Structure 1
Amino acid sequence: MATIRAWPDHLLTLAEWDGLTPVELRRVELAEGVLQVSPRPSSRHQLVGGQLMAALDAALRPAWRAVPEVELTVDAADPPTVRVPDVAVVRAEAVDGRSRLDPADVLAVVEVLSPGSRRTDRITKRAEYSDAGIGHYLIADPGPPAVLTEFRLIDGVLEAVSEQRGSAELDLGAMVALDLDAL
């Protein structure tokens, strides 16, 4: 396994990414071989993500499981892109101890907006998840008031299909009801 002892000065490969040691108090993603480091999410951000994860997990079991902050290889070609969505809804059998998932294992991803991630979540990640063939993308703005924007993959592009406040109804193969006011 490759290790990186100093801050990289080149585009990383997946082997080099695997060799990175965890960066305390930071969130790290790989975008086209470039490390992207941001502060850990706020407690409000984590609470919203956790509540969405619990609701999605309860509604979609046993075939699907909602998991927090799992690595997702959205593009394995060099230079690779590895994202860490706030929540990923994945095939139950994919929750098997792997450190990173493939898009084929993913039904939906959820990103909770933060002050430093709004553009990336709304534009960049939406395009990346589209290209990876992710069927559903949810963007939660914790507000107040909390707003959930739902995107569905239509003809290869994640298109906005709803923006919901108060309560939300999602069709992810099973109906999921969310109380956004309780977030």
Structure 2
Amino acid sequence: MTALPEDMTNSAGEPHLFTVAEYAELGEPGSGYTELQEGRILMSPSPSPNHNHASLRLAMQFVDQLPADLEVIQDVDVDVDLELVPDGDPGFSRRPDMVVIPRSARDRVPDEGGMLKASEVLVVMEIVSPGSKRMDRVVKRGEYEDAGIPHYWIVDLNHPVSLVACHLAGEFGYQDAGDVVGEFTTSVPFPVTLKLDGLV
């Protein structure tokens, strides 16, 4: 991958709107990370130590509980364009804090190139950071819903630490039962119990 281009404008001097394929060819910035929203590259600062600590502790809880054919991956690009944007049009790519995918999806990426596809993601998770509340609870919720990701779990580290588990409910989109504190237990899409109190 190459470095981010310094000039991201087209021949008319307007902002260049990237496709997911173009975005996948770009490199990483010197610090922080990028996402793609309607063809526009969004730069974000690196997560805080508390954020990274919570993400690691969550991932470790998944490892011992996931079925053998599933795995958890942190901080990875996901193509959320799938069937939303015509090929060649400005696209969407997000870098969730965590995804649960079939092992076969990770094996596919080095063979075919590109990034993980929304259709391969069973659960997408975001940890709310200062300044990302609306992005995580509204904007990304809508994008992940439109992309057909069946489960979206949002973790908020503000005391008390909470998790809201959204699931696709047909024409009603994402539905949820509100924030859970202390311990989150579910059997769908796989049995898992997550202890929330020790994340920070």
Report the TM range for the smaller structure's normalisation: over 0.9
Q: Distance in 2 between matches of 1:133 and 1:15?
A: 20
Q: Distance in 1 between matches of 2:42 and 2:96?
A: 13
Q: Distance in 2 between matches of 1:179 and 1:21?
A: 36
Q: What SS class does the counterpart of residue 90 from structure 2 fall into?
A: coil
1:44 to 38, 50, 54: 50
How many residues of Structure 1 are paired with residues of Structure 2 in the alignment? 183
Unaligned runs of 5+ in 2: 10-15
1:175 maps onto 2:188 in alignment: no
Q: Deviations over 1:138-158 (max 9, x none)?
A: 100012221111101111511
Amino acid at match of 1:80: G
1:31 maps onto 2:42 in alignment: no
Normalising by structure 1, we get a TM-score of 0.92
Cα RMSD of the aligned pairs, angstroms, is 1.9
Q: Which moved more, 1:123-132 or 1:72-81?
A: 72-81
1:90 to 95, 101, 106: 101
Q: Distance in 1 between matches of 2:106 and 2:29?
A: 23
In 2 relative to 1, CA 103–15 (structure 1 residues): closer, same or farther, beyond 3 Å?
A: closer
**How many percent identity over aligned positions?**
34
User: Could you say which residue in structure 2 is the equivalent of 1:5?
Assistant: 5
1:18 maps onto 2:24 in alignment: yes
Q: Distance in 2 between matches of 1:67 and 1:56?
A: 10
Q: Deviations over 1:124-166 (max 9, x none)?
A: 1000000111111110001222111110111151112342111
1:161 maps onto 2:173 in alignment: no
Normalising by structure 2, we get a TM-score of 0.85
The list of structure 1 runs, each at least 4 consecutive aligned residues, that deviate by more than 3 angstroms after superposition, is 1-4
CA contact (8 A) 1:4 1:16 kept: no
Amino acid at match of 2:146: D
Match runs of 1:12-161 below 5 Å: 12-76=18-82, 77=85, 78-96=89-107, 98=109, 100-156=115-171, 157-161=173-177
When Rg is computed on C-alpha atoms for both structures, the one with the higher figure is 2
CA contact (8 A) 1:152 1:161 kept: no
- Give the superposition deviation at 1:69: 1.0
- Give the superposition deviation at 1:2: 9.0
